Structure 1
Amino acid sequence: MISSLRGTVLSASGGTAVIEVGGVGFAVQLTPDHVLSLRVGDEAFLYTALIVREDALQLFGFSDREQLEVFDLLTGVSGVGPKSAIGVLSVLSPDDIAGAVAADDDAPFRKVSGIGPKTAKLIVVSLTGKLAAVRRPAPVAQTAGKPSSVADSVLVALVGLGWQERTASEAIADVIADTAETERDSVQTLLRLTLARLGPAQVTR
């Protein structure tokens, strides 16, 4: 099972990027916005889902775990294949999807190419009660001049290094979830672990 990739972007166009890892190029299907965020020659980290079929192996990539988890939920809905699932994520964010499901509103899904009215309604019914676990709370806004926690301090540092706030916040949340409390109780340690997960700093464009 290929659950993630970290490597050099060889190409990125349409809905596909090729990521070179250890001399091997992996073709990964992404949302169009994700493809546009990649730059040839840069290092990229992707969470991935490998779809195995009799006639093909397909690799789908995501910028964060939240998208991957929603993708897995969508492909578990009868009538929604991986291409339709990536199509949904190309149009709707995980928060948009959760909001539509919570409101019992299938209209946003009917706007996705390849998703008909019956399938749209089935998505809402099937995902009801399943999305709360994959949604991360938004970062707490700072109310004073100084950061209010270790995580806030690291977030400020990463934004200062050029990372987008959403990307940095998600990486911090991943590190906190994956490490022991003693490994994340200082700004220096948490910053080091988060930078290791993010890879080389990127200047916001």
Structure 2
Amino acid sequence: MIAYIKGILTYIQDDSIIVDVQGVGYEIICANPFVFQSFEHNEVFVYTYHHVREDTQLLYGFKNEEEKYLFTKLISVSGIGPKGALAILASVDVAGFAAAIEREDDAFLTSFPGIGKKTARQIILDLKGKLTVAVDYSSATESAFKQNKNEMLVQEAQEALKALGYTEKEIKTVIPTLQKEKTLNTDELIRKALGLLMK
């Protein structure tokens, strides 16, 4: 089983992303591929579910463990396949979906494409009381995702500094400070680094 993929995000398509791992391109189907857009042409970490059937093998990707957990629970419900599970993930957060299950909200569940009353009742029957663990993942996985993104921004800043003529030795002196910066902007990191290097 392929639990995750770590490599260079080379391409984003309407329903999937392509991640290059040492020269091998893995196509990973996602509910919303564009959540990974900030990592394009940089290293990305994607949680995956390896779906194997007699006639095909597919990789499904998620930005965190809680989404992957919900996906695996959904496809265990009779009447819901991977496509249906992705359609749900594309338009709802895990905590909101778990809350709807606990309150047995049929109307909410039948608002998703392909989910009728019978399937909605089956989802409630199979998953009520089983999704609270998914919600517990939230804070930890969100923190990990932010950390991963910050590493990518620092890497982008490093490349920019190299292009400006700074040596590896010089750049290494400011990396620890950049890694502590809480920013979502590469330009801010570059300005901070330049300020430190000019002292």
Q: TM-score w.r.t. structure 1 length? A: 0.68
Distance in 2, matches of 1:138 and 1:64, equals 8
The one-letter amino acid paired with 1:109 is L
Post-superposition CA distance 1:4-30 (Å, at most 9, x none): 001111111211111111111111111
Instruction: Give how far 1:116 is off.
Output: 2.0
Is the contact made by 1:9 and 1:19 (CA closer than 8 Å) also made in structure 2? Answer: yes
Is the contact made by 1:66 and 1:94 (CA closer than 8 Å) also made in structure 2? Answer: yes
Q: Where in structure 1 do 4 or more consecutive aligned residues deviate above 4 Å?
A: none
The equivalent residue for 1:56 is: 56
Is the contact made by 1:5 and 1:47 (CA closer than 8 Å) also made in structure 2? Answer: yes
Post-superposition CA distance 1:91-127 (Å, at most 9, x none): 1110111110111102222122222221122112211
The equivalent residue for 1:204 is: 184
Is the contact made by 2:73 and 2:127 (CA closer than 8 Å) also made in structure 1? Answer: yes
**Unaligned residue ranges in structure 2 (runs of 5+):** 154-182, 186-199
Q: Against the structure 1 CA distance between its residues 54 and 137, is the aligned structure 2 distance closer, same or farther, given a 3 Å change threshold?
A: closer
Q: Against the structure 1 CA distance between its residues 13 and 132, is the aligned structure 2 distance closer, same or farther, given a 3 Å change threshold?
A: same
The equivalent residue for 1:35 is: 34
Q: Report % sequence identity.
A: 31
Post-superposition CA distance 1:117-141 (Å, at most 9, x none): 21122112211110112212765xx
RMSD: 2.4
Q: Against the structure 1 CA distance between its residues 77 and 13, is the aligned structure 2 distance closer, same or farther, given a 3 Å change threshold?
A: same
**Unaligned residue ranges in structure 1 (runs of 5+):** 140-150, 152-165, 173-193
Q: Against the structure 1 CA distance between its residues 71 and 126, is the aligned structure 2 distance closer, same or farther, given a 3 Å change threshold?
A: same
Which entry has the higher C-alpha Rg, 1 or 2?
2
| 2:136 partner SS | coil
- What are the equivalent positions in structure 2 for 1:1-205 lying under 5 Å apart? 1-32=1-32, 34-38=33-37, 39-136=39-136, 167=142, 169=143, 171=144, 200-202=151-153, 204=184
Q: TM-score w.r.t. structure 2 length? A: 0.70
